[in-house]
Structure formats: structure tokens, C-alpha cells
Amino acid sequence: MMKEWATVVSWQQGVALLRCEPKAGCGSCTARSGCGARALNELVPETEHQLQVHIEQPLEPGQRVEVGIAEGSLLRSAMLVYLTPLLGMMLGGTLLQYCFGSDASAAIGAVLGGGAAFMLARRLARRLGEQADYQPVVLQIGLPPTAMRMQAENSPLI
């Protein structure tokens, strides 16, 4: 299970809108060492990812929750998004190269095959996104921000 902490933006009628803060994959960026992904992350402006999760328990804005998604469904999604257009490009280019025998036809076939495969992957991703295995689930719920109150030593308990 892939896990990530998110912040509740809003909760209405059993659906929570969550904001996930982007972070580098391995955590070495905090030590300013590692594979160089930190340098790439600095080139791209930081974006926030929002997702909706069905949860019956009422949540408050600012509350932290841990969400998770099955590793298998995440890997299948990545394969669909990356491999389908690549295979379409290869098949389209090979097919038109075989039929017409020129490099220009192979390039056109690669563009057409990649575009068609991208549209197929998009349609399949929508269909898979409706299945329960591909939906994030709430694993843990943190305390609401209003639950923790600091109290001075001299003030009486209420």
C-alpha cells in the first residue's frame, strides 16, 4: 500500500476534498544529497494535488489524514499511461514502414499510432478510475486542529 499524508480542504456529505503536498520520492532531498531529483523539482513550480475521497466520518478543514492506494493498481495505472502510447507509436511506425517502405511513412505511422494509443489509454483510465481498487482510501485520521490547545501553567483547567 502506497501511503501519503494529506490535509482536509473541505468535507461535505461524505466526500472529503484533500490537498496533498508534493515531495521528492526518496527523502534524500532534505539532506541535499541523492540522485538529483531535487534539482529537477526546483525547475518546476510546486503544485498542489487535490483529490476527493469518500469517508462518512465528518472532517474539519486543516485536519490531517493518511490516504493510501494499492501498489498493484498504481503500477497498472503507470503501465497504462506510459506503455500504451509507446506501444502504439512502435506498432504504427512499424506497420506504415512495412506497407510503404519509407522513413516518412514510419514517422507518420508513429505519430498516428501514438495518438490513437493515447486516446485508448485515456478511455481505459477513465473506466479504471471508477473501480474501487483504483480509489484512494483513508487509513488514519489525525486530530482536528481545534482539538489540541496549549494551556498556560497558571491558568485553571476548564
Q: How far is CA 54 from CA 129, 139, 148, in A?
A: 14, 12, 26
How far is Cα 61 from Cα 72, in angstroms, rounded to an integer? 31
Cell of 154: 497558571
Contacting residues for 2 by C-beta, under 8 A, at least 6 apart: 68, 69, 70, 71, 74
Residue pLDDT, tens place only, 9-39: 999 999 999 998 766 556 555 555 556 666 6
- DSSP 8-state secondary structure symbol assigned to residue 147: T
Residue 79, pLDDT above cutoff 80: yes
Which amino acid, residue 87?
L
- DSSP 8-state secondary structure symbol assigned to residue 155: S
If you compute the radius of gyration of the chain from its CA atoms, what whole number of angstroms results? 23
In the beta sheet, which residues pair with residue 54? 15
- Residue 43 is predicted with a pLDDT of 67
The residue assigned the cell 462518512 is 56
Which amino acid, residue 88?
G
The whole-model pTM stands at: 0.66
Residue pLDDT, tens place only, 87-129: 999 999 999 999 999 999 999 999 999 999 999 999 999 998 8
How far is Cα 136 from Cα 19, in angstroms, rounded to an integer? 13
Q: Are 139 and 3 in contact (CB under 8 A)?
A: yes
The residue assigned the cell 506497420 is 95
How far is Cα 94 from Cα 96, in angstroms, rounded to an integer? 6
How far is Cα 85 from Cα 106, in angstroms, rounded to an integer? 15
